[in-house]
Amino acid sequence: PPVYEQRYCFVKNLVNRHGLRKIADLGFGDATLLWMLKYHRCVQYLVGVDIAARPFEWGGGRLSPGVGGYIVPRELDLTITLYRGSAVQKDSRLCGFDLITCIELIEHLDSEDLAKFPEVVFGYFSPGMVVISTPNSEFNPLFPASTFRDPDHRFEWNRTQFQTWALDVAKLYNYSVEFTGVGDPPAGAEHVGYCTQIGVFQKNIAKATESSISEPEEHVPEEHIYEVVYTTSY
């Protein structure tokens, strides 16, 4: 399957394996990942945030109930909400999720936004898990034109650059991180690594001393910045 599909499947499998219920996708694009996740019986709450989300594209779209061939009714309720907003803006409705995914998002952030990103996503949203995927630049020489993969990319990192950034972020916000990827290199080019590099972050269980310092989740003051562009429940 194409690499983008492998990225979505990676998330899907993670959701299944951990039985995750509340998931937010930052930079949801055309909502394919959210659409795939809506079929999971464990999922109860799906949220998408995209800076370019447009209101009318989603009315009656493929996220609505009934579309996509339901045979067996769900046992659990499912709510889907799409917001227009930036991944570097704080909105309290994104706090307390099991998983936040950022699939091919960070390389679209300029240096100012990239600097704000960890504090918002890890510090403020503070989900149980975070998945971040981004191109692995070591793979690029295998492409015909060896520049950035997309003209909108602000950077493409090699494995050391991504892992250094991710380990710093994990340490600062008390997460652990593991590295993997999707898109196998062709035979003979194994040394370049995966086409897409992925970091899977898990929040460390707060130690007694730390939990007394950090504010409990329910004390985060309401702060609604994002604009709702679509919502449905079934």
Q: Which two tokens stand for residue 132?
A: 């971040």
- Rounded Cα gap, residues 217 and 97, in angstroms: 11
Candidate residues 24, 88, 130, 169; the one interacting with ligand SAM per rule CB under 6 A: 88
Candidate residues 18, 108, 159, 203; the one interacting with ligand SAM per rule CB under 6 A: 108
- The CA-atom distances, in angstroms, between 146 and each of 128, 142, 143, 150, 156 are 37, 8, 6, 11, 12
Q: Does 34 bind ligand SAM (CB under 6 A)?
A: no
3-state secondary structure of 128: coil
- Rounded Cα gap, residues 52 and 30, in angstroms: 10
Dihedral angle at the C-alpha atoms of 12, 16, 19, 21, nearest 10 degrees? Answer: 30
- Rounded Cα gap, residues 133 and 201, in angstroms: 11
Candidate residues 50, 91, 98, 156; the one interacting with ligand SAM per rule CB under 6 A: 50
CB 198 to ligand SAM: min, Å: 12
Q: Does 27 bind ligand SAM (CB under 6 A)?
A: yes
Q: Does 223 bind ligand SAM (CB under 6 A)?
A: no
Q: Does 103 bind ligand SAM (CB under 6 A)?
A: yes
Stretch that binds ligand SAM, among 12-20, 107-115, 198-206, 213-221 (CB under 6 A): 107-115
Q: Does 197 bind ligand SAM (CB under 6 A)?
A: no
Query: Is 129:11 a contact under the CB 8 Å cutoff?
Result: no
> How far does the chain reach from its first CA to its final CA, in angstroms?
31
3-state secondary structure of 47: strand
E strands, 149-216, in order: 175-182, 196-203
Task: Considering only residues 126 through 185, tell me which ones interact with ligand SAM, judged by CB under 6 A.
Answer: none
Candidate residues 2, 52, 112, 141; the one interacting with ligand SAM per rule CB under 6 A: 52
Query: Which residue, 4 or 165, is less far from ligand SAM as judged by CB?
Result: 4
Q: Does 113 bind ligand SAM (CB under 6 A)?
A: yes
Q: Does 26 bind ligand SAM (CB under 6 A)?
A: yes
Candidate residues 3, 21, 29, 149; the one interacting with ligand SAM per rule CB under 6 A: 29
Query: Which residue, 35 or 45, is less far from ligand SAM as judged by CB?
Result: 35
Which residues are at the interface with ligand SAM (CB under 6 A)?
Answer: 4, 26-29, 49-52, 86-88, 103-105, 108-109, 113
